[in-house]
Chains A and B, each alone.
Chain A
Amino acid sequence: MADKILMNKNFLAALKIELKEYKTALPVFEMKEQQLKGVVQEIENDIVRLQQSIEETNTKTKEWVGVMAEKTIDLSEIVKVDSAITEKQEIAGATIDVFVDLKFEEIEIDLFETPLWVDAAIEVIKDQKTDLLMIAIKRKNIELLREELAEARRMKNALKEVFIPETIDNIRKIQIYLGDVERLAIGCAKLVKKKKQDKGASV
């Protein structure tokens, strides 16, 4: 938006184009805000659900977790993450990572030498690691989306509270000014015409 208002028709036309653009952009930012709010809420719900799942697994595991105190095998050595697979996804202008899979290293377990409980321990550790990684990815996404949401909200508010009202006001001021100028010109023309007529009659 221009800093200085020029009281002419060209500037009025430019302001009208600007206003039209602002009015087109406003619903876009409103929609973006709504969409991002929805996605953030959805991810927050997912995190709560994953945390509940982790808690439930912890509660169930506590019933038998004592076996893991046995000094036979180093669990952190037999359940090692190989790679976390994610995909990029664009949501309302923000690029986030979407969890696809968590690959674990293929470590051969001696089913004869190791105790029976090791199998269940490996499974539960893999499950918890996967859920925890999913939470970590989702938290990072929420951070990104909140930044994008704040930006969309700033833009929406700026358009709604500042740019559009100011432009409308400036258009009104110019229109009033140009109206006054036009009326003045008509008045002058009428006066000139009348004077001409009076002069003609006296001759």
Chain B
Amino acid sequence: MTGNLEYLMSSLPDLSFQNEEDTEEKVTSLLKKYADASEGETSLVAILNNEAAKFLSPNESQLFQEINLEKIHNNTFQKRKSKVLSEFSSYVFKLKKQVEQLRLFRKSNENQRGENKKGIQITPGNPLEEEKQLIKFQWEKIEAISTGHYADFEALISYKLKLMLLVRLWSFKAEKGFGIFEKSINIEEYGR
């Protein structure tokens, strides 16, 4: 199994914390090569899941498929045997709690952004910059907890977590975002 994973890990594109379009295109094109042409448009995470399933046991494959960035802080992940998964899950839970505190602090102290002393140490910036910092914190945590894992299941989990972080980072498209913003400020419905 380890040998197979070594093959899989070595054939996956390198991931680095970059938001440049060419990095996104490179990773996307390489990962899409794995996808069956007949499957049409598939998400990068789905491609990785499908590809990994070929090299993992049914139990591992099921766990691997369940890994989801939106639910990664859940208790079920914190209790997993996988060190990378449980540590990252606990870290995200703590991070989300700190972000929640920061948001509460900001709500109660309008115009005093970033003065939260007991909460998360985030450099105040615009929401995109702050979101990138939070993703970077998570990226660095994965790097730290996956040290020494290169071609095992832990390495594959780290790879998926990193890929999910990048997919989230790459989803921040200005044009699309502005379209959503414009749609949400529409007041026509109020008959004015």
Contacts and interface: CB of A to CB of B under 8 A. Distances in A.
Nearest to A71: B171
Interface in B85-112: 96-97, 99-100, 102-104, 106-107
B172 interface: yes
A111 B96 CA distance: 9
Contacts of A111: 99-100, 103-104
A117 B106 contact: no
Contacts of A63: 126, 128
B181 A116 contact: no
Nearest to A126: B185
Given A72-B70, A117-B127, A120-B127, A66 B184 contact: no
Interface in B102-138: 102-104, 106-107, 126-131, 134
A120 B103 CA distance: 10
A132 B192 CA distance: 10
Interface in B29-50: none
Interface residues of B, number: 34
B131 A129 contact: no
Identify whether the interface residues of A are mostly helix, strand, loop, or mixed: helix
A61 B181 contact: yes
Interface in A103-138: 111-113, 115-117, 119-121, 124-125, 128-129, 132-133, 136-137
Contacts of B99: 111-112, 116
B103 A65 contact: no
Nearest to A57: B185
B106 A119 contact: yes
Nearest to A70: B171
Identify whether the interface residues of B are mostly helix, strand, loop, or mixed: helix
A2 interface: no
Contact of B183 (A61, A62, A76, A113): A76
Contact of B185 (A69, A115, A129, A136): A129
B187 A65 contact: no
Contact of A112 (B96, B130, B171, B184): B96
A117 B130 contact: yes
Contacts of A115: 131
Nearest to B178: A65
Contact of B129 (A64, A68, A124, A136): A64
8 contacts: A68-B184, A71-B171, A76-B184, A76-B186, A79-B184, A117-B131, A119-B107, A133-B187
Given A62-B178, A124-B181, 13 more contacts: A61-B178, A64-B127, A66-B174, A67-B131, A67-B172, A67-B177, A68-B180, A70-B168, A71-B171, A75-B181, A111-B103, A113-B96, A120-B126
